[in-house]
Amino acid sequence: MLHAILADVGAAAKPDRADRDTLDPLIGLVLQGTWRIRRSIGRGGLGVVYEATHERLPKGAAVKVLRRELADHPEAFERFRREAEIACSIGAASIAEVYDLNFLPDGAPYIVMELLDGEDLSVRLAARGRLPLPEAIEICGQIVDALEATHRRGIIHRDLKPQNVFLCRVPDVAFGGLGDRIKLLDFGISKIVGSLTNLTDSGVVMGTPHHMSPEQARGDTQLIDHRTDVYALGVLLYQVLSGQLPFHAESPYAVLLKIVNEPAPLLRSHVAELPEALEAVIARALAKDPADRYPSAALLWDDLLAAVGQPFRPPGERPPRTG
C-alpha cells in the first residue's frame, strides 16, 4: 500500500478513486516539466496526495497538494511549508525525503516527496492487535534513531503516533527475508527549539489526544521540549506491546484530563508475561513531570535493551543510527 501521507476521512461517503481521478484536473498534469501526476493515493481534510512519475527517469514520487482555500490561510500554509523545510533540514534516512516545494498555477502549494511502499504502524496494529516483543523492540530502535536525528537539530516532532511511523519493507541482508525500515512522517506541528516564531500560543492544544504529553494536554507550549517526544515514544511502546492505549475516555477532552491527572495503568496489567523491568522503563517514559522522564530517547533505548536482556540483534547488526 502506497503511503498516502494525509489521513483519509469519510472514505465510505466518497466516490471511488477511479471516479475521483476522472474528474480531477490535476491527473496528467506535469509539474515544472518533471513530475507527471498519475493518480490520487490519499485524500483528507487538508488536501490530496498523488502518485507521480519522473518524465525522464525511472523514478516515482508522492505529490502532496494543500487545498487552495487553505493556501490563503497563513497558519495552514506556514505549517505546510515548515513540514517540507524540516524534513529537508534533518537529512536522515529515517525521514521521508522531500524533493521540492512549489506552487500550482492556481496558487495552491505542493510538496514533492519520497514515494514509500509499505504500511504505517497503525495499519499493522489494526490487523494484529499487538506486536511480538522482538518486532516491537526492533521498530522502537529505529524510531529512537529518527528522534535522535531530529532532536540533534533542535526539532521536536510533537505528534509521534502509529500513523506517523511508516514501515517500508526492505531486504534484510543480515537475517534474510524482508525487514522493516521506518520513516518518521508529518512534521507539520513540529517545534523548533529557540525559534523566535512559534506557530502556537500558550494554551493552544496541538497534537493527537491519546499520544499527547501532559504539558501538551495542558497547552503549556513553552514547556514542550524533546522529552515530549520521549513521552509519546512511551505511549507508542505501551500501545504496540499491549494493543491498548494508556488512557481511554468517551471524549478527547476527557482523555486529556486523564493524561494530566491520572497515572497510566501498568503495562503488565494488560500483558502479564512482559518483563517487569520493561514495565518500569515505560512507566518512566510516561512520567507526568518531564524532569522525571528519560532526558533523551537514546537513554530510554539503553534501558529498554537492558530490561529485555537484549535477545535481539547486537547493536552493530541493527540498522545503523541515522543522521
Of these residues, 16, 21, 145, 159, which one is catalytic? 159
Nearest to 182 by CA among 222, 233, 226, 251: 233
Sign of CA pseudo-dihedral 31, 34, 40, 44: negative
Q: Is 303 within 8 Å of 281 (Cβ atoms)?
A: yes
- Return d(Cα 56, Cα 170) in angstroms, integer: 26
* Residues ≥6 apart with Cβ < 8 Å to 77: 66, 70, 71, 109
- Return d(Cα 285, Cα 264) in angstroms, integer: 11
- Return d(Cα 261, Cα 274) in angstroms, integer: 26
21 catalytically annotated: no
Q: Residues of 241-276 as b/e, b for ≥16 C-beta within 10 angstroms? A: bbebebbeeeeeeebbebbbeeebeebbeeeeebee
Which positions are catalytic? 159
